[in-house]
Amino acid sequence: MPPSLGAVWAVRAVWEIRLAVTGQPASGPPDQGEGVHRPLTSLEDSYHLVGAVGGGAVLICAIVFLRWLDNVRDNARTLSGQKPRYSGFWLYAGWLIPIANLWIPRGIIADAHRDSAPGERLPGSLNVWWGLWLIGMFSGVGLMYGDDTDEIIARAYTDLWTLLASDAAVIGAAVAGILLVRAVTAVQVRYLDGSVR
């Protein structure tokens, strides 16, 4: 998970704090109910912009991460001479299919590490990354949320701590993801270079 994902969520958290500190306008939340929306304040409007730019950054991060994951799977196949347990289909679908997305992405990385460095312990960052990823993903306000941006703005005014807890999980997952990428890449480089036999 590239560091820019953590940066995106840090910026979101700063804007959510700014919204909470500023306080909800006397006219109430942006979505007034029954299809009525009040005009956004400049701070709320900028949060929409932060969300849109962040969405693009998340897409780029996902593409970069999936390319890295595909490369480490190929390297693991070269090192072990075995086919991966999860086919190429699962490299992408494993993130999207409910229930399967609770273990397959972690399993792909764990298998790539095991096949690359038989007998070596999995990096501790793998479980930290995966645990924080799941918390951030399914916290209801993290990576996968049903609320639109106006509803998240309203939550920043009334329930900031749940937003910040979810943001912290995503930021932590990004940091652990960086450590994980470095650990798996380093072990493959050692074995591919022939420095470990």
Q: Any idea of the CA torsion for 160, 165, 170, 176, to the nearest 10 degrees?
A: 150
Query: Cβ of 105: how many Cβ atoms within 10 Å?
Result: 21
Q: Where are the alpha helices (DSSP H) in 23-103?
A: 42-80, 88-93
Tokens (6 digits) for 23: 């306080």
Report the predicted TM-score, pTM, of the whole model to 2 decimal places: 0.86
Note whether residue 28 is domain-resident.
yes
Domain count, the chain: 1
- pLDDT tens digits, one per residue of 167-191: 899 899 999 999 999 999 999 998 8
Residue 24's pLDDT band (cuts 50, 70, 90) = very high
Domain assignment of residue 197, yes or no: no
Residue 146 — φ and ψ, nearest 5°? -90, -15
In a domain, 105, yes or no: yes
User: pLDDT of 59-107, one tens digit each?
Assistant: 898 899 999 999 999 999 988 888 888 888 898 998 888 888 889 999 9
Q: pLDDT tens-digit profile of 143-173? A: 555 678 888 899 999 989 988 998 899 899 9
Its domain, for residue 167, covers 3-192
